[in-house]
Chains A and B, each alone.
Chain A
Amino acid sequence: MVSENEALKYRRLVFYAADIDQLNITLLAFVKKANAQCCLLIDKEGHLVARQGFVANLDSSTLSALVAGSFASTREVAKLLGEAEFRVLFHQGKGHSIHITLVGERTLQVAVFPSSVKPGMIQVLSGELALQVDAVLAAATARKPAESEQRVLGENFTAEAKNQLDSLFGNL
């Protein structure tokens, strides 16, 4: 019998606006404080949850998918070593580095830094952020959403989606 948390971990997750706002505030404060280029939260399946920083020219969807894939592959490496999974990944390049931290059980925190920020500082600041994000996510999971927040998909979501599919791919 899977617990409710387990179910939530493997099933879909709905994020409400208040929680996303709180996450955005946390990420933005981190970006300013750590002098990071940007910071993203993604889930293990590669879906983007929140992002802050210089992301206008960044293909966030692709970055999310690749980072999630990269993280998933290292989990298999970790298993070979007897670890459940690695919780931190760090890739350093000439101009940028990327620091990936597993927050909780299903969210990945991805921070992109310019090379001017030293790896030790990245490690410390990312660790701090992970604690903050974990607290926000835990509160979001535990919190019962207010009545006004309990939104559902629009009434005509299905019909509109089908129309969009037809208009995009109808003649192909």
Chain B
Amino acid sequence: MVQINFGQREVSCKIVFYGPGMSGKTTNLEIIHQKAPKQAVGEMVSIATETDRTLYFDFMPMDLGQVAGMHTKFMLYTVPGQIYYNATRKLVLQGVDGIIFVADSSPEKLEENLESLQNLRDNLAEMGLPLEETPLVLQYNKRDLPNASSVADLNAQLNPMNAPAFEAVAREGKGVFATLKEVSRLVIEKLNREHAPAANRRRTASSLTPVKAPATLTATPPRPVPQAPPARPMAPSSGGHQIARPAAPVVQSGGHAMPPVRRPVSAAPPSAPTPLPMRPPPPPPPPTEEDLSPREKHLAKAKPPALRERREAPVDLGATDPHLRRYQMQQRSGGSGLLKVLVTVLVGLIIAILILAIVLVLSPDLRERLPPTLKRLFGDPPAVVAPPNAQPAALAPPAAVPVPPPAAVSVPPASTPPSTPAPGKPDGQ
């Protein structure tokens, strides 16, 4: 089912290529991958067997870019066509928004085509999703085969639901993009019916009426259009390979629109966060002002919020947060453990030295025990006890200190005062 993420400002739809084995589903995807603009498609992933048969699914994201402020993406899947892979087909079909049924034009493959179509119908019904209510496009592939069945035959056999049908030679890229565009258009139309503002729904419905029938590649004349209802989906804008069906008893616009029996709005299960109530797809005559609820009237008049006023998409902090990035890189490098230990030890040392210094400054007793070189760091002058008329110890001639007491005998007793420190003061030595 379509996911509308107003937080990420994204719309995401799922399109599945269905069909019998070897009909060209994976080839379709490969051609889209090769030929589409590189900015529009991502990498193609294929879960295939050794013989290149699709085992589970092929997948490729297709990016339409910003559409009305929403990043719009289509997720393209293929299913394995072989009968015995039905379990995986059901898994891939889960939550499908649009289906391209790729049929093989070879007459020998008609049975397989029918079987696969019935299988599609059954699988969808299991999910409570009738085929007639799902956007569906048929692609008659391998039109270059010399014995290819006629389009009229294929239509008669495979297209009782009157879905849009296209001729294709997928190997050469013919008809591939026309099919893709058509199914994308149908999905968007459906999305628009259910999620666009009321005013827009009315506008779209009226603007869709005057469409011209698409160009056809076959000689089949376009089927007459009895009377187009006002709100049928639009035909592809560019000339595709769409096939015009012969006249059918069902009233249909241009033979390309969705089947007339469409999902009634009341049948759709209610969705709690759905912003607006849906309007019926087969619309009655254009609603008048009186038919609208007060809320719809309000929304019809209200202008959409300006882009700058809309809430920005949440910033991907994980990818952009430099702190987180640095943190993660450190954790990943594996060398951060040693660095952390070194830094811790260094900080611890600095703190210990600071504490010691403070203690020494505050405690003179401890300072006394320090060696003189460290003592000078704290600004303490050497403690010298000298007579009042004596010179300071620091200014005493250095030769006087080492002179032993016997040498002092030769010095005249009255010439100079004793420069040696008083006994009992070891600091002066």
Contact between chains at A45 and B1 (CB < 8 Å): yes
Sorting the interface of chain A by its residue count into under 10, 10 to 19, 20 to 34 or 35 or more gives 35 or more
Neighbour of B318 across the interface among A53, A140, A149, CB < 8 A: A53
Are B319 and A155 in contact (CB-based, < 8 A)?
Answer: no
Shortest beta-carbon distance, A165 to chain B, in Å? 5
Contact with B along A30-68 (1 / 0, CB 8 A): 011001011000011111111111111001011001100
Closest CB-CB distance, B227 to chain A, in whole Å? 24
Other-chain contact of A24, B6, B200, B238, B314 (Cβ < 8 Å):
B314
Measured between beta carbons, the chain A residues less than 8 angstroms from B8 are 15, 20, 48-50
Within 8 A of B (CB), among A115-161: 116, 140-141, 144-145, 149-161
Provide the residues of chain A in CB contact with B127, threshold 8 Å.
Answer: 10
Query: Which residue of the partner chain A has the closest CB to B199?
Result: A155
Query: Are B91's CB and A12's CB within 8 A?
Result: no
Contact with A along B246-288 (1 / 0, CB 8 A): 0000000000000000000000111111111000000000000
**Residue A21 interfacial (CB < 8 Å):** yes
Are B67 and A172 closer than 8 Å at their CB atoms? no
B12 at the interface (CB under 8 A from A): yes
Main DSSP-derived SS at the B contact region? mixed
Cβ of A73 and Cβ of B91 under 8 Å apart? yes
Is A104 on the interface with B (CB-CB < 8 A)?
Answer: no
Whether a CB of chain A sits under 8 angstroms from the CB of B401 is: no
Which residues 7-22 of A have a CB within 8 angstroms of B?
A: 7-8, 10-21
In the complex, A69 Cα to B173 Cα: how many Å?
A: 28
Q: Check if B304 is an interface residue, CB within 8 A of chain A.
A: yes
Minimum distance in angstroms from A41 CB to a CB of chain B: 11
**Residues of the B chain whose Cβ atoms lie less than 8 Å from the Cβ of A160:** 67-68
User: Are A13 and B271 also in contact (CB < 8 A) when A45-B94, A154-B304 are?
Assistant: yes
25 contacts between A and B (CB under 8 A): A2-B128, A2-B269, A4-B269, A7-B269, A7-B270, A12-B271, A14-B273, A27-B318, A31-B324, A32-B327, A37-B328, A47-B14, A48-B5, A49-B3, A50-B7, A72-B94, A116-B332, A154-B67, A158-B188, A160-B67, A166-B181, A168-B36, A168-B37, A169-B180, A172-B176
